[in-house]
Amino acid sequence: MATITTEMIKELRTATGAGILDCRKALVDADGSMEKALEFLREKGLLTVEKRADRVASEGVVELYSHGGGRVGVMVEVNCETDFVARSEAFKNLAHELALQIAGMSPLYVSDEDISEEILKQVEVEAVEKAKEEGKPEKILPKIAEGVVRKYKDQNVLMRQPYIRDDEITIQDFLNQNVAAMGENVIIRRFARWELGELQEETSEEE
């Protein structure tokens, strides 16, 4: 049986947002394997998120963030279930981290569902046309288009982007960690990003 140290528990807690006892149990069950313990807690966190997804989230904050001496501005609305959680430092930190992410990574949408069919079709058509111009075989065009559409989503959908502080996880993973830690449903409702000298009308909203 591997020895479970305080440092191991702290590292796992930082990575997942889970409680101390949950982290200790996961490490014990995984016989000290950080990788297995991480997987266990992430699966558990995902189940927690799914159970809470239908709960009404009408409290929260609108986080405002200015970056680069006022060259970039971000406004993001993040919702939770109770005013108690909305006023907590953990929730405020989550909203701030999301604003930093939006400022740095310039997403256009919160989730896949926010992208219109017209936009996706346009991306697909342009990918096929480019592949044809490059002389790619007809039979692989659908695969190429699928890959380009996936890349477009990965780059422009907030939930799919790598977290700026840990590119091993996505913003969806980061949000799941916070839901598991706070014990409430949390929703990124919408955001807007402005950059000095750039006209950008896109805003995103999760229905």
pLDDT digits (tens, 9 = 90+) for 61-103: 999 999 888 899 999 999 998 899 999 999 999 999 999 999 9
pLDDT at 23: 83
pLDDT for residue 172 is more than 80:
yes
- Whether 59-111+157-205 and 6-52 are alike in CATH topology: the answer is no
CA distances from 59 to 35, 92, 172, 180, 207 (A): 35, 12, 20, 17, 16
pLDDT for residue 202 is more than 60:
no
> What's the pLDDT tens digit per position in 15-53?
666 667 778 888 998 888 988 888 887 666 654 555 555
Q: Which fold, 59-111+157-205?
A: Tetrahydropterin Synthase; Chain A (3.30.479)
Beta bridge partners of 203: 192
Q: Which residues of 47-72 are buried (b: 16+ CB within 10 A; e: fewer)?
A: ebbeebeeeebebbbebebebeeeeb
pLDDT at 26: 86
> What's the pLDDT tens digit per position in 106-116?
999 999 999 99
User: Where are the domains positioned within the chain?
Assistant: 6-52, 59-111+157-205, 116-154
pLDDT at 20: 78
pLDDT at 207: 41
Beta-carbon count within 10 A of 107 CB:
21
The percent of residues in the chain predicted with pLDDT above 90, rounded, is 52
User: Lowest-confidence range among 76-90, 156-170, 172-186, 193-207?
Assistant: 193-207
Q: What's the CATH architecture for 6-52? A: Orthogonal Bundle (1.10)
